[in-house]
Structure formats: structure tokens, C-alpha cells
Chains A and B, each alone.
Chain A
Amino acid sequence: NAGVTQTPKFQVLKTGQSMTLQCAQDMNHNSMYWYRQDPGMGLRLIYYSASEGTTDKGEVPNGYNVSRLNKREFSLRLESAAPSQTSVYFCASETTFTYEQYFGPGTRLTVT
């Protein structure tokens, strides 16, 4: 089992460009999450998906959109990147009854 995979691992964007971060899990989990991690701010929830076809905003959703394509895949889109979105982005999936979240390796994004 690969667990949670994310692509790309690194990305540099210019202000105003768009991109999609991809996430997939092979653990048959219903719930999936997107977080960003910034120095001094810890991990903050961007969006959440309780099941295929549903998504909800987290703590810092502005500037982002998500798509739960199917049970395995949950993507995060930046429509018009801003320098404030420079961060490390993590995707996670969660077990149903024990609420344990398993994280991917992250995408390091720099917006210039």
C-alpha cells in the first residue's frame, strides 16, 4: 500500500498563475483533508471532504477550491496564486471509527 500520495513535490508559480495539487489514497477511507503548514502557524485546515461528492471549508479556505473526484482522489486548486499561498501543503485521509489521519509527503509551493 502506498498510503497517501501527493503530486507534485515541489512547485514554483508566479503571482496570478493557477495550478492543481493532486492527492490520492489507497486505504479506502471516506474522509480526506487538505492542510497548509507555515512556520509559527502550525498545520491549518483548508478544506475537508467527509465522503465522495461532499466538501466543506476549513479554517483558511480563501483562495482555494477543491474537488473530490472519487473516493480515492481529492484535489486542491489555486485559481490565482498569491505570495501569501507560499507554504507546504499536506493531504490526509482518515479512518472511519478511530479518526486517525494519515498524511502524504507534502507539496512545497513557492509563489513569487
Chain B
Amino acid sequence: EDQVTQSPEALRLQEGESSSLNCSYTVSGLRGLFWYRQDPGKGPEFLFTLYSAGEEKEKERLKATLTKKESFLHITAPKPEDSATYLCAVQGEWITGGTSYGKLTFGQGTILTVHP
């Protein structure tokens, strides 16, 4: 069974204080590892996809990295507007009825609060 564990559950930072969020995973047949941002009362917003170990992607103050067992979301010099819940998910491949499907398994999320 695919599993995703995110840590910490909550993280409080001062504006400008860089840090990292962790996502540990086990998956059968990794199609991709995904990071999402979710603001209160809204749907998850897609940030990054990583497909293989060693891959890195950047967007503004965020940088995602991937190894065979975990992914990190590095936040450099965060601002209050970066406050949100960050979700990690893996998509494994499973076969049912002779057909191959992707299956997305989410972690519980990390609640990030950045204080001015």
C-alpha cells in the first residue's frame, strides 16, 4: 500500500527565516511526486511534479527535491503570503481489470505560518 508521511505537522517561521518541509513515501511504481499548496476554504493548488530521484524544481521562494525515499520542499526567505498548508502526494500505478491506472495518495500536510 502506498504511504506518504509529512513532517512537521505545523511549522511557524519568522519572515525571512528559511526552512524545509519533509515528505517521506513508499510507493509501488512511482509515476510522480506532487506538491500542492492549499489555502483555507480552497482547493489544493498544484506547485510541482518530480518524476525521478535527483530531480529538482523551483518556483519563486520554493524549491522541491526528490530522493528515492523522500522529498523536501525548501522555503527560502519566506513571506507571510507563503502561509498555507502544503500537501505532498505520490502517484503510484495500480492495475485493476487488466487496465493500468494512476492512484494519488496524499500526506496529511504541513501547516506553515510565516509571521511578519
Q: A interface vs B, CB < 8 Å?
A: 4, 31, 33, 40, 42-45, 48, 50, 56, 58, 90, 92, 94, 98-106
Contact = CB atoms under 8 A, between A and B. Distances in A.
Determine chain A's interface SS by DSSP, over half rule: strand
Given A48-B101, A105-B43, A99 B91 contact: yes
A99 B102 contact: yes
A99 B49 contact: yes
Determine chain B's interface SS by DSSP, over half rule: strand
Given A56-B101, A99-B32, A100-B34, A105 B107 contact: no
Nearest to A101: B104
Nearest to A48: B101
Nearest to A58: B103
B107 to A, nearest CB: 7
B85 to A, nearest CB: 10
Contacts of B42: 105-106
A4 B42 CA distance: 12
B100 to A, nearest CB: 9
Interface of B: 31-32, 34, 36, 41-46, 49, 87, 89, 91, 96, 99, 101-104, 106-109
A8 to B, nearest CB: 14
Contacts of A31: 102
Contacts of A43: 44, 87, 89, 106
Nearest first, the 3 closest Cβ-Cβ pairs linking A and B are A103-B43, A43-B106, A42-B106
Given A40-B108, A48-B101, A56-B96, A100 B45 contact: no
Contacts of B103: 45, 58
Nearest to B99: A50
Contacts of A104: 43
Contact of A103 (B45, B49, B101, B109): B45
Given A50-B99, A92-B43, 19 more contacts: A42-B106, A42-B108, A42-B109, A43-B87, A43-B106, A45-B103, A56-B101, A58-B103, A90-B43, A94-B102, A98-B32, A98-B49, A99-B49, A100-B34, A100-B46, A100-B49, A101-B104, A106-B42, A106-B43
